[in-house]
Amino acid sequence: MTHSVFIDGAAGTTGLEIAERLKGRSEFTLITLDDAQRKDANARREALNDADVAILCLPDEAAIEAIELLDPASGTRVIDASSAHRTAENWCYGFPELNGRERVADARRVSNPGCYPTGFLALIAPLVRKGLLPADWPYTVHAVSGFSGGGKGLIERFEIFEPSPAFRAYGLAMGHKHLPEMQAHAQLTHPPVFSPAVVDAYRGMVVEVPLALGLIDGAVDAGALLEALERFYEGSPIVRVHPDFGLPVELLVKPDAPARDDMELFVFASPDRSQARLMATLDNLGKGASGAAVQNLNLLCGLPETAGLHLPIA
């Protein structure tokens, strides 16, 4: 069976990477619009309603407008890569490892997770669910990303500098748009303090949650956190938990890193285990965006979850 797919916003970074992962796959037929048609509401409406699956790679307001163009009778299923519907009712949060593959496969509306929340939630949500970490703890998130995650505007700001800045801290006014999904899907009482930054690399991401374990009621042990994460992701073809404390000695974001759709999780601990650093590495354009969209698309269409993804050879 062939599934028709329309990428609304196909000319953007996320859309281009999704199309690259679908290239040569006989299970899909892409519905495409030329440059003029992309700005024509009628042409977009027709493409959206003709598709078996529409993938929205749009700013939030445009994604909301795209949903309004859909005829409920069309049967089109949607994957929204914007942040518009990540905490909305009647939308499935498209993180299969957390919410279940069956739930994603059965959904009509799937909201793709944000890149930073993907790393944060992968680390924290399973541990809060198990009761190893408290829901009301004042969590802090430090993260750096390749500049491609900021879209065309940020890409241009990096490219016009000679040389480009090595580090750019942002979100300094607080209230980052990723915070609601971090709080909601980790089931936290308070939003975390989020410190994002971008570096002079096109892709790649490190997300860190530092923990003062000695101050948490119940004397949480770093070994228990690592074991719980290993069990939670056991058998996952995409998320891998590094089994050793203290290794590797560095986590890098490389300027020439290739595309990847997996994610690695680490638990580092002080010698007395009173402090820990939970860390995730991923590609902000892979598991943090386009790779996750293709993973969700595969599930919606009843196909192997990892088909078309860039994964390390086992």
Please tell me the distance from the alpha carbon of residue 221 to that of residue 306, in angstroms, as a whole number. 34
DSSP state of 53: E
Please tell me the distance from the alpha carbon of residue 212 to that of residue 115, in angstroms, as a whole number. 25
From the candidates 57, 92, 115, 301, give the one annotated as an active-site residue: 115
Catalogue the long-range contacts made by 63-69 (C-beta closer than 8 Å, 24 or more residues apart): 66/8, 69/41, 69/44, 69/45
Please tell me the distance from the alpha carbon of residue 194 to that of residue 41, in angstroms, as a whole number. 37
Please tell me the distance from the alpha carbon of residue 185 to that of residue 260, in angstroms, as a whole number. 24
Token pair listed for 217: 């009621």
The strand pair at 77-80 and 53-56 is best described as parallel
Please tell me the distance from the alpha carbon of residue 70 to that of residue 88, in angstroms, as a whole number. 17
Show the DSSP H helices in 143-216 as ranges. 151-160, 179-186
Contacts for 23 with CB less than 8 Å, ≥ 6 apart: none
Which secondary-structure segment (H or E) carries 282?
A: strand 276-282
Token pair listed for 92: 């499935």
Which secondary-structure segment (H or E) carries 281?
A: strand 276-282
Task: Judge contact between 5 and 22, C-beta under 8 A.
Answer: yes
In the residue annotation, 57 being an active-site residue is answered as: no
Catalytic positions: 115
